[in-house]
Amino acid sequence: MPVLYSLSPPLASPERTWAVTAVVDLQQVKYLKILVALRTNIFQQLNYGNQIRGGQEEKFRGLALELRWTVNDLRNLLDARAEAASCFYQIDPPKTLSEMLPNVNKRAENPTLHILARTLMRPRDAILYLNYCVREATGGERITWENIHRAEKAYSKDRLLALRDEWKDPYLGIDKVFEVFQHKPVRLSRAEITAIFDDIAVLPADKNFIGNQWLTNICEPIFTAGSAQKAWYEMYGRLVNLLYSISFIGLAKGPNGRALYSYEDPGLTHLMDGLAENAYFEIHPAFRQALSMTEELALI
């Protein structure tokens, strides 16, 4: 059996000698393909486009396969987790996921879909929310809707912190950007989010803000000469692209349109023709309770 080595950058001897030896050994292994799983933010930090020597971005992106999870994928995963938990805790007869959650009927929302709608369609989000629900239901025969709603506050705070940790490199201090959305409506017209973006743009003026460099660069079009003559997207497009790419906001056409997020359509910002005036911006359900947002539409 071939051995997979964990390679590291060249280090001082003897670690450097070991790494070089590992590379030589791997060259002698036939029919070996190495698969590396990277989170999106880590792949972005490799920054192939700005490397002076080597690292042609097109070659690496051609080898990359973006993993996407569907509703059925995550539902099956949660079913498997429920089965494994029943086995571990010796529950007899074992409980399925549908037996753990509230009953589905014509008047009530599907609890599984409710949970998945508050995830970024990733296994860790779905598992974490379900775990919070189980803790709330301790001592009960099954999870109730009250348990699900009570669990959402803690889950939302956890996911907002996780989003900060996931993107603080290269966007150090991005949590301060999120905080500007506190107590705002969950769905915002272009006029409403413009006021929020203007507040974000002045964050670098605070000497305690640690993300001065990257945020100043993103907000540069707002303050450059002649900005009043620029199209809206020219001024605020960089902020839209950032917050959309990390799935903090979704984009919808019109106040009643369904919002899409980057895990559903990564290139949507480039297809909305500069974001027309009827574009609406929706904060992802995973983060709303942590930001104490309101469900009302903005009135502009």
Q: What is the pLDDT of residues 257-273, one digit of tens each?
A: 999 999 998 877 665 55
- How many angstroms separate the CA atoms of 291 and 149, rounded? 16
Question: Which of 36 and 127 is assigned the larger pLDDT?
Answer: 127
Strands 294-297 and 185-189: parallel
Question: Which of 288 and 33 is assigned the larger pLDDT?
Answer: 288
Residue type for position 176:
K
What local confidence, expressed as pLDDT, does residue 28 receive? 74
Question: Are the beta carbons of 264 and 155 closer than 8 angstroms?
Answer: no
Cross-strand pairs, 280:
189, 252
CA-nearest of 261, 246, 267 to 171 is 246
What local confidence, expressed as pLDDT, does residue 115 receive? 97
Per-residue pLDDT at 13 exceeds 90: no
Per-residue pLDDT at 50 exceeds 80: no
- How many angstroms separate the CA atoms of 227 and 234, rounded? 9
What local confidence, expressed as pLDDT, does residue 273 receive? 55
- For residue 210, the tally of other CB atoms under 10 A from its CB is 13
What local confidence, expressed as pLDDT, does residue 59 receive? 66
- For residue 173, the tally of other CB atoms under 10 A from its CB is 19
Give the pTM.
0.81
Average pLDDT over residues 214-241: 90
What local confidence, expressed as pLDDT, does residue 41 receive? 66
What is the length of the chain?
Answer: 300
Strands 249-253 and 279-283: antiparallel
71-88 helix and 123-136 helix, angle to the nearest 10 degrees = 50
**pLDDT tens, residue by residue, 167-202:** 999 999 999 999 999 999 999 999 999 999 999 999
What local confidence, expressed as pLDDT, does residue 38 receive? 73
- At residue 280, the 3 state secondary structure works out as strand
Average pLDDT over residues 127-136: 94
**pLDDT tens, residue by residue, 54-110:** 556 666 667 777 788 999 999 999 999 988 888 887 877 888 999 999 998 777 789
Per-residue pLDDT at 300 exceeds 90: no
What local confidence, expressed as pLDDT, does residue 10 receive? 42
